[in-house]
């Protein structure tokens, strides 16, 4: 029997994830905010949703930090906070990843 999630169990997982709040802040070396996103994981894009994407590794993205400009020669700080995790969750691992591309001219 294949290891698949039923529609019911998928809904239970999404309900449980909705209780978790994820916040990400990206600031430059002068303290300017490059992006701030906060919300709960959800199956679709929304104003306050972190959307799960697939393709290789699973990851979450948020529309507020989808198109961020960073500049060469500048340092940036990324802070990720996971709030309201249930007590049953003993460990939360947040691994940041930045993907980008486009015109790389100086």
pLDDT tens digits for range 24-82: 999 999 999 999 999 988 777 777 888 877 766 677 888 898 888 888 899 999 998 88
By CB atoms closer than 10 A (0-12, 13-18, 19+), residue 59 is middle
In a domain, 98, yes or no: no
In a domain, 27, yes or no: yes
- Residue 86's contacts (CB-CB under 8 Å, 6 or more residues apart) are 16, 19, 20
- Which structure tokens are listed for 102? 């486009």
Domain count, the chain: 1
In a domain, 104, yes or no: no
In a domain, 92, yes or no: no
Residue 91 in this model has a pLDDT that exceeds 90: no
- Residue 75's contacts (CB-CB under 8 Å, 6 or more residues apart) are 28, 29
Task: Residue 58: give the domain boundaries.
Answer: 7-83
In a domain, 47, yes or no: yes
Weakest mean pLDDT among 3-12, 58-67, 73-82, 93-102: 3-12
Give the pLDDT score at 50: 85
Does residue 26 contact residue 37 with C-beta atoms inside 8 Å?
no
In a domain, 42, yes or no: yes
In a domain, 93, yes or no: no
In a domain, 99, yes or no: no
Distance from chain centroid for Cα 44: 13
Residue 2 in this model has a pLDDT that exceeds 50: no
Does residue 59 contact residue 7 with C-beta atoms inside 8 Å?
no
Q: Tell me how long the chain is.
A: 106
What's the CA gap between 10 and 37, in Å, rounded? Answer: 25
């Amino acid at each position: 029997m294949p290891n698949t999630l039923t529609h019911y169990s998928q809904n239970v997982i999404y309900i449980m994830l909705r209780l978790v709040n994820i916040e990400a802040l990206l600031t430059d070396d002068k303290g300017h905010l490059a992006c701030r996103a906060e919300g709960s994981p959800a199956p679709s894009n929304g104003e306050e949703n972190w959307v799960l994407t697939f393709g290789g590794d699973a990851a979450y993205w948020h529309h507020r930090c989808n198109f961020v400009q960073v500049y060469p020669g500048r340092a940036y700080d990324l802070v990720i906070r996971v709030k309201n995790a249930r007590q049953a969750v003993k460990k939360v691992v947040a691994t940041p990843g930045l993907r980008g591309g486009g015109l790389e001219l100086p």
